[in-house]
Structure 1
Amino acid sequence: MPENLPVISRPRGGAMVGGVCAGMARRWRVDPNLLRIAIVVLAFFGGLGLAAYGAGLLLMPREGQTEMPVRRFLPFTRSWSNPTVVAATIGALVVIVGLTSSGGIGLGPVLVIFAVWFFGFRNHGQTRPSPPPEPTPFERAADAWRVRLAEQKTPGYEAVALPAPTEQRWTQPYTDPAADLAVRDNLPPAVVAVRRRRWRPWGLAIALVGVGIFVVVMLGLAGMPATPLAYASAVLAALGLTLLLTARSGRPPLLLPATIVSGIVAASMLGTASIGPLGPVGELHRSYSSAADMPAVIEYGAGEVDLDLSSLQLTEDRDLDIRVRAGSVALKLPVGVTSEIDYSIKAGEYKFGGVERDGVDLIGTEAVPRGSGDPVLRIRVDLDLGEVRVTS
């Protein structure tokens, strides 16, 4: 990396928060709203969008300044080279995101970055040919005079290209300004076409909203929870997709405020949702040999739960509830304990021995007797979407 890195400043005009998106959009010559939407979406993936915006605030100086803000906050970095400061700042933010994000980043940021590239930067280098500028009255008069000298075979003007023969333009020996517009200097000013913001893309937005609501309704009929948050998320996704699709052709009026309002509504519903906490996200691999070590309830929002109960010993009946919203549950039943499995799967697959069931609203009970009069382990598995595998 060169020491004289290009300075991308944050403008004071047109900035909504800190001017990071406005400065990057000015350098890349794209719509700043496209970058703002990408930052907001990336903020839901482990705080990646907030980390990226924070890096911009620390590394991009204000317009009219040249020193990075991080050098003012941390004076000992002034002796570092620019590449070192940039790498250290980005590395520190990446570490912070990794420590504070429990579920990882996943594929979402890749899709967001691809959408920003596809709709914002694709074919950006292919400049469209611009129409030639309108000649001034003096240039029109000069061109007409050169053509007239060529028609009169004036020495030195033989190479001037003559226009295609049309109706009589000239009156000898001079041009009549009333009949020849090419030499008139009192032409009315050229009318510049004002690009009006079109309302037609709102039809696309309404259609996408309808598709999103239809998908939520169908998922509700299939047994998935069709909560108000799901409908608000469908509307937000439809409006955000319309913003991306109309980034090049022109955003319709009021679409951006409607998207922002939808995002606020969805965020408020997410914070006050009555569906209960989603639970942790990740993987759980445990092996239990006694009832004291085994919890009564295991709840995960998304991920994999793998329990090895083959060496479990019980002196009395015991219940175990496993609740997972999306993911997989793998159970290895105890050898010397009678087990009863009560499962409920809204959409997914159930495997036990040679029995395999898949579909929606899978409900059933399995009993694995190990002896008469022994303690019983009752396992209840509640899974919204995914797979349950049981081995004995």
Structure 2
Amino acid sequence: MAPIEDPLLLLRHSIASSGKITPTTSADSSDEVPLSKATHLVFSSPDRVAVPIDAPTRFTSTEGKAIDVRSIYFAWLNRDLTIPEYNAIAIKLNDEMAGSAAVHMFAFVERLVLFTFLEGAQEESEFIKPLPGGQDTTAGVSVSARVAGATSKAAPSSSGRAGRGTLDPRLAQIYNGERRMGDRNTVLRGIKATDFSHVRKLAAPFMTRKPGGGPSTAPGVGSTTALALNQKPARRPDPIILLSPSASALLRMSNAKSFLEGGRYAPPDASAPASMLHISRLIKDIDPSRPMRFILVEGPEQFKPEYWNRVVAVFTTGQAWQFKNYRWSNPAELFKHVLGVYLGWRGDEPPESVRVYGHRVMACSVEKWRDPGQPGAETSRWRDREVVEGIWKGIEANMRSKGWRKDAAPTSI
């Protein structure tokens, strides 16, 4: 009866000897199939050996779970990919297997140890269990001998005469006395993986903060009060409000500050061509301790791509040309991401182009403007503040839903 081969050593030997490894649908088959449909891995060198593809190996994950043959072979096939790229194709393979099996998504350290072992540059690791010492390890010995034999046979030809006759015994003795160069894995890490878990405890005071904003103290670590005195508070990005550049808009750059900050409407002044305004507003549910500064602009011409994540409201008159240079030029798509606000006269119906947007656009109305010299003109403006508070209430609810915090803006909206 042939000895049972260890899958890890089989794979390591096949890599060293450039042997063929074939995924098949049975132990007796030699037809290669996709990895998602394979049931066995067939090793052709030095003797034909078939290993069940779901068989566990001696390689364990950081959680102590034995990794199966399919996961290790799949990781080796995609060893040149980055972690995100590898995870993406691993998810695709798992979808193809439709729950019947799943490949393990290796962490960075696990991949490094696995590839170093399979390349022959490492013998021991905390992730690789040793072969059982109490039983006959003929399988492990046989494969180890084959690996050593393949290496010793390859060494004279690669280092000496490249297959042209036998190597001079004296030259072979010199080569055997040379110091062998290691690869980047053995140079940087040695023969065993270094455990850096203790660094997490040292980094905890620097990375963790209490809900109140102050630094937290990790167990076993001294107070970080002195460290907090030297740290600058995190700068919060300013939210952005886009106004309509239309000449028919009731709210323009010239009167937006007095309306949104002062609570009183006045008609826009065409002779005040401001390109940007700053207004302040205390948003209690996000930061009750300090007012937030809002940036008001009429167009996104100077926007960087990340600025769109800070847009909290768009004032519109319903004219589609306003959105031509927006990130979302389709109004229906735009108002899925950003709150829309229409400001019109009390008693007038919003235009049809605004009504079709539905609840995604807040329709507000103010009292029609009357000459302050007319009797009762000022008393009609008491409703302005009520309208302003309603607009801010909508903006605040939208900001909370998008993930605004007291020290950070959302990464996407």
**Band the TM-score falls in, shorter-chain normalisation:** under 0.3
Please give the TM-score of this superposition, normalised by the length of structure 1. Answer: 0.19
Please give the TM-score of this superposition, normalised by the length of structure 2. Answer: 0.19
